[in-house]
């Protein structure tokens, strides 16, 4: 076994590293705190354009769509090298990671020509409009409707949990086009202009106080039929393309999240109930060990997948355990560490210890992470059904016309 790059990987890494050393110098330090959205967008666009000119965008995409036609391993190596710098991240991850692959898989040639190059260059930002107030885990239960009028479709309804909707130029939206069909069959996907009349974006204030997501309202929004992605009624198929790409993206432990080292450091300074350092207490040591096993176990599991990719093989299904382990481990660790700190772990704001404040952030944030991109429960269903081959859940509404199982 060998944790080093294969020769051709090492060569690519060296080229990337040299390019970043030359071109990423202004991102040596973290950006100033509290950056406003317009500045974040400007920084993101500038970096994306630079990357694009050098051929580091769309690394795995086919060349015919402006990509580089390289392997997932190349993309991973680029990402590893880029993460050593504080380059702006996030604005394009949904658009280029999920939306545009759906556009070039299901869109007509004119649409692909119009949208894909500008997205890759970073000129236009994209968002994904899937979830609704009544359709989260049960995504096929969406109610936003699109009604055909001549060459156009008219969209009415509401989407929710849309990241970067407020910064986006376009989005992909799944709508119900035939409520007489069973729920998975009456859906169609469209490209929608986020600046079109009738689109309203409202930020959602989360439990954490932050606003990463939006509600998006559609009120008589008109979309040309040429902007349909896939056949009428094939929206579920198109959505699966998008979600397949989401599963590749959501998984690892967030870079800022505390880990077993955090608890080791804290437990040296905090006292156990008997006055001795908490690091000597058996329950503390067991928690450190468990956190190490979970966090490192996920890192190592990802390395197993990378090894498969490196050999040109398809990774096994073991990657599917990532997010469900990472999110709950983060919550358990934060909760345990705050318990250990007693009242100090509860004091927030200006009086809070900065390390404990981070743990508080992790305690709050992990509650969201356990839901975003597939809840713990849905992910367990997926492991049980797709990996272990257990039968699907009982779905009494599966074959019923949508308008008979849901009140209009």
Q: Which residues of this chain interact with another protein, rule CB under 8 A?
A: 1-6, 9, 260-261, 264, 279, 282, 285-286, 288-290, 292-294, 296-298, 300-301, 303-304, 306-308, 310-311, 318, 321, 324-325, 377, 379-381, 383-385, 387-394
Least distance CB 395 / another protein (angstroms): 10
DSSP secondary structure code for residue 137 in this structure: S
Least distance CB 260 / another protein (angstroms): 7
In this complex, which beta carbon is closest to another protein, that of residue 242 or of residue 301?
A: 301
Q: Which residues contact 306 (CB under 8 A, 6 or more apart)?
A: 73, 76, 315
**Nearest C-alpha neighbor of 236 from the set 112, 376, 102, 104:** 102
In this complex, which beta carbon is closest to another protein, that of residue 180 or of residue 296?
A: 296
Q: Which residues contact 249 (CB under 8 A, 6 or more apart)?
A: 93, 97, 98, 373
Q: How far apart are CA 358 and CA 333, in angstroms?
A: 12
Least distance CB 61 / another protein (angstroms): 23
CB count within 10 Å of CB 224 equals 14
Q: How far apart are CA 180 and CA 374, in angstroms?
A: 28
CB count within 10 Å of CB 33 equals 5
In this complex, which beta carbon is closest to another protein, that of residue 6 or of residue 18?
A: 6
**Is 215 an active-site residue?**
no
In this complex, which beta carbon is closest to another protein, that of residue 76 or of residue 119?
A: 76
**Nearest C-alpha neighbor of 200 from the set 142, 262, 129:** 129
Candidate list 246, 261, 355, 385, residue with the active-site label: 246
Least distance CB 400 / another protein (angstroms): 18
Q: Would you please indicate which residues are annotated as catalytic (active-site) residues?
A: 246
């Amino acid at each position: 076994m060998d944790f080093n790059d294969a020769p051709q990987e090492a060569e690519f890494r060296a080229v990337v590293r040299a390019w970043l050393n030359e071109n990423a110098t202004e991102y040596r330090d973290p950006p100033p705190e509290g950056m406003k959205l317009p500045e974040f967008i400007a920084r993101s666009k500038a970096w994306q354009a630079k990357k694009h000119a050098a051929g580091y965008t769309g690394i795995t995409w086919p060349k015919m769509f402006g990509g580089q036609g390289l392997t997932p391993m190349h993309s991973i190596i680029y990402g590893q090298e880029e993460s050593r710098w504080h380059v702006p991240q996030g604005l394009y991850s949904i658009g280029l990671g999920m939306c545009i692959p759906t556009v070039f898989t299901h869109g007509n040639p004119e649409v692909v020509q119009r949208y894909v190059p500008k997205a890759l260059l970073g000129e236009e930002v994209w968002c994904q409009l899937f979830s609704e107030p009544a359709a989260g885990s049960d995504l096929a239960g969406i109610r936003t409707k699109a009604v055909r009028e001549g060459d156009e479709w008219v969209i009415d309804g509401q989407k929710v949990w849309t990241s970067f909707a407020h910064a986006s130029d376009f989005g992909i939206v799944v709508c119900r086009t035939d409520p007489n069909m069973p729920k998975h069959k009456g859906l169609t996907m469209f490209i929608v202009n986020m600046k079109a009349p009738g689109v309203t974006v409202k930020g959602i204030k989360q439990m954490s106080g932050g606003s990463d997501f939006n509600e998006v309202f559609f009120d008589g929004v008109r979309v040309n039929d040429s902007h349909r992605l896939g056949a009428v009624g094939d929206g579920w198929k198109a959505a699966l393309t998008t979600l397949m790409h989401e599963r590749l993206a959501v998984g690892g432990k967030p870079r800022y999240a505390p880990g077993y080292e955090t608890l080791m450091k804290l437990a040296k300074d905090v006292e156990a109930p008997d006055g001795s350092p908490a690091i000597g207490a058996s329950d503390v040591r067991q928690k450190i060990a468990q956190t190490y096993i979970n966090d490192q176990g996920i890192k190592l599991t990802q390395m197993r997948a990378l090894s498969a990719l490196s050999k040109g093989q398809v990774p096994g299904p073991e990657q599917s355990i990532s997010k469900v382990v990472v999110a709950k481990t983060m919550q358990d660790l934060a909760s345990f560490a705050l318990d250990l700190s007693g009242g100090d772990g509860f004091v927030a704001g200006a009086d809070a210890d900065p390390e404990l404040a981070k743990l508080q952030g992790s305690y709050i944030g992990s509650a969201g992470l356990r839901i975003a991109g597939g809840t713990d429960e849905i992910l367990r269903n997926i492991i049980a059904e797709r990996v272990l081959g257990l039968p699907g859940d009982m779905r009494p509404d599966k074959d019923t016309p949508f308008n008979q199982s849901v009140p209009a």
